[in-house]
Every structure is written in C-alpha cells, then in structure tokens.
Amino acid sequence: MDFDFLINNFVGLTVTGLALGAIYALVALGYTMVYGVLQLINFAHSEVFMYGTFAVAWVFVFFHGKQADTQGLGSALPLLAVSLVAAMLLSAAIALLLERVAYRPVLKRNAPRLMALISAIGASFVLAEVMGLRNRFAGWFGLDDDLDNYVAKARDVYSNPVTIQPEGLFSIGDYAVKDVDVLVLGAALLMMVALDQFVRRTRFGRGIRAVAQDPESAALMGVNSTRVVQVTFLIGGLMAGAAATLYMIKIGATRQNAGFILGVKAFTAAVLGGIGNLRGALLGGLLLGVMENYGSALFGSEWKDVVAFVLLILILLVRPSGLLGESLGKARA
C-alpha cells in the first residue's frame, strides 16, 4: 500500500479522476435514461459510444490526413468542434436505430424483459462486428482502396492521428491542472446540467418522467410513449457521442471492442448513483473515476477495476438502491 504516493499526488489524482469520471457519467446517462423509462439494461449502449469514438478519429483523418501530429488543445479546437458534432450525430443515429430494430419489435410483443436483454446483447455483437469487419464491407463495394485510411486493419487499434498535448492551465499546490482535464470536466458538467434542466423543466421532460412513472397512465393522459422512448434513446446517444469526443481527447485511440469495458464501468456508475437518476449518474461517475485513481495509486493500477467493483458492492450493501437511489419517475418538477 503506497500511501505516500497517494498523498503526494492527491490533487493530480483527483483532477484526472474527475475528468475520467465525467466521461463515465456521460455514458452512464444513456444507461440511466433508458433504464428509467423502460426498466431495461441497454446492453448495446457501449457500442453507441464506440461508434462515436470512431467518428472523432474519422473526422481528424478526413480533415487532417493520416500523418501523425501533436497539437495543443487550442489549435485542435476547430476540428474538435466538428468531430463533436459528427460523433454526437453518429451516436444518436446508432441509438435511434437500436431502439427501432432491437427494442421496439421485442417490446411490442410483450416479451419478457430478459428477452429484450438478449436482443440488446445481439445488437451489441452486431454493431461491434460491423465495425470490426468494415474493411470487408467496403471491399464488397470495391471501396476498400479509396477508404483505406478509414477501414484498413479493422480489428486493430485505430488512433486519432492528432495527439492532443495537454498543457498546464493553472496550478493547485504543486500540481498544474491540465487544460484537457478542465475542458473534459467542464463540457461534461455543462451537458449534464442542460439535460437535467431539460428533464425537469420542459414539457417533453415532463412526458419522459410521466412515462417513467407509469407508462399506462401517461399514455391515457396523451403522452406519446413511443416518441418518449425514442427521445430517450436519442438523448442517450447524443451524450454518448459527447463522451466519445472527450474520451478521444484524453485517450486518443479506440478499437472495435473499446466500448465493452467502458460500458460496464459506466453502467456501474449509473448503479452506484442510483439507476434511473440523472444526478445519481453524475455523482456515481465522478466518484467511480476518483476512487479508481486513488485505488490504483494505493494498490497498483492492475487492481483498478477491482477497486471499482468492490466499491460498488460495498455501497450497494449500505444503500441497496444506489447513493441517490430515486428513480427518474420520482424526480420532482
């Protein structure tokens, strides 16, 4: 147990942990929204996120070319803005497709909830495999040479050619807080607040909460529940796209199975905060990110995930429905 390391690097570990946690929280929103409305674990949400990361890398390859380069955050900002839009659009499109193809037909048949989970698992495989076989699909249309920069070595790590170099922005004690971490944390918080206000204050947000509370009565009161479910997936996708952009700023590389473990973490974050609860997702995500960092400082980075899951189990023992433990439906207007 390396307490000295933890204490000496406390600020740094906290800040990077918060930034990582913010990404978890954004992905966790997708799980928590869908769970709040449908009471289903959206198993394929990790793939929605993964497509977003690829969108970011593709935008950079398209505008910048394949040659490796290192840029500061400032000079990369215009391209980052474009890729944010692209990632949010692609992720949202995938999420909507998911709802249409994998969920609606199953739910329409009043299938047991576990069956919807199977459909989602299937969709997750399909999405990951389509990405992993994209060179073959391009080959069918004879496009694999033209698209070589985008599809070659489909199963390997695919990096953003532009590495974003973090620079110190201001310092707390000895630690220089990096601009990248500030951007990630700030952007994630901004989006969270916007979503929270959307669900709490707008007319449509009220519809979402109504369906989460009691779908039957909501339908009787004139809420279009199909539309509500669609919008829920759309929001989850948009947030996952934003998370993907932030993830690519920090990590810089992705691959066709990159979503799985991050999805598991994000779902953990959602459960930690109380699934179905938007503020819970934020709290759970940040807590998870920070605790993981402390844990890997104390026990070594190979125990990072163990710390995360042990934390989850401990918290659920004390608070069996998560930290903030109220569902989407019970949120007050």
Partner 1 sequence: MTAPLTARDRLALQWVGMVERWNSLPRASRLLIVLLLALLFYALPLLRPPILTTQQTDFGGIMFSSAALALVAVGLNIVIGYAGLLDLGYIGFYLVGAYTTGVLTSEHWHWPFFLVLPVAIAVTMLSGVLLGAPTLRVRGDYLAIVTLGFGEIIRLIVTNVEWLGAARGIKDIPHPPTIGPDPKPPFGEGGLFTIPHLSWNGLIPSLDENRGTRFLVFGAADAIPYYWLILTVLILVLVADKLVKNSRVGRAWEATREDEDAAELMGVPTFRFKLLAFAMGAAVGGLSGALFASSQGGYINPLSFPLLLSILFVAAVIVGGAGNRWGAVLGGVLVAYLPERFREFADFRLLVFGLALMILPVYRPQGLLPPARTIRARVAEREIELLEGGEDTGPTDDGLDGPEGPDGFGRTNSTGKVG
Contact residues toward partner 1 (CB under 8 A) are 35, 38-39, 41, 101-102, 104-112, 114-119, 121-126, 129-130, 133, 136, 202-204, 206-207, 215-216, 219, 222-229, 231, 260, 264, 267-268, 271, 275, 302-303, 305-306, 308-310, 312-313, 316-317, 320-322
Task: For the CB of residue 17, give the shortest distance to partner 1 in the complex, in Å.
Answer: 19
What does the alpha-carbon distance between residue 274 and residue 277 come to, in Å, rounded to a whole number? 6
Task: For the CB of residue 240, give the shortest distance to partner 1 in the complex, in Å.
Answer: 18
> Would you give the DSSP letter of residue 169?
E
Task: For the CB of residue 298, give the shortest distance to partner 1 in the complex, in Å.
Answer: 14
| 111-to-31, 105, 162, 230 alpha-carbon distances in Å | 20, 9, 46, 19
Q: Which is nearer to partner 1, 3 or 317 (CB)?
A: 317
CB 308 within 8 A of CB 292: yes
User: Please, what's the b/e burial string for 62-76 (b: 16 or more CB within 10 A of its CB; e: otherwise)?
Assistant: eebeeeeeeeebeeb
> What tokens were used for 267?
């779902």
Q: Which is nearer to partner 1, 12 or 295 (CB)?
A: 295
Q: Which is nearer to partner 1, 207 or 237 (CB)?
A: 207
Q: Which is nearer to partner 1, 108 or 173 (CB)?
A: 108
| Phi and psi torsions of 226, nearest 5° | -60, -45
Q: Which is nearer to partner 1, 169 or 315 (CB)?
A: 315
Which residues, 6 or more positions from 202, have their beta carbon under 8 angstroms from its beta carbon? none
Task: For the CB of residue 157, give the shortest distance to partner 1 in the complex, in Å.
Answer: 18
Q: Crossing angle of helices 179-201/225-250, nearest 10°?
A: 170
Task: For the CB of residue 307, give the shortest distance to partner 1 in the complex, in Å.
Answer: 10
Task: For the CB of residue 3, give the shortest distance to partner 1 in the complex, in Å.
Answer: 20
Say which amino acid occupies 232. T
Task: For the CB of residue 123, give the shortest distance to partner 1 in the complex, in Å.
Answer: 6
Mapped onto helix, strand or coil, the DSSP state of residue 177 is strand
C-alpha closest to that of 50 among 255, 237, 242, 246: 255
| Phi and psi torsions of 41, nearest 5° | -80, 115
Q: Which is nearer to partner 1, 10 or 204 (CB)?
A: 204
User: Please, what's the b/e burial string for 24-52 (b: 16 or more CB within 10 A of its CB; e: otherwise)?
Assistant: bbbbbbbbbbbbbbbebbbbbbbbbbbbb
Task: For the CB of residue 331, give the shortest distance to partner 1 in the complex, in Å.
Answer: 16
Q: Which is nearer to partner 1, 61 or 121 (CB)?
A: 121
Q: Which is nearer to partner 1, 61 or 316 (CB)?
A: 316
> What tokens were used for 60?
């950079």
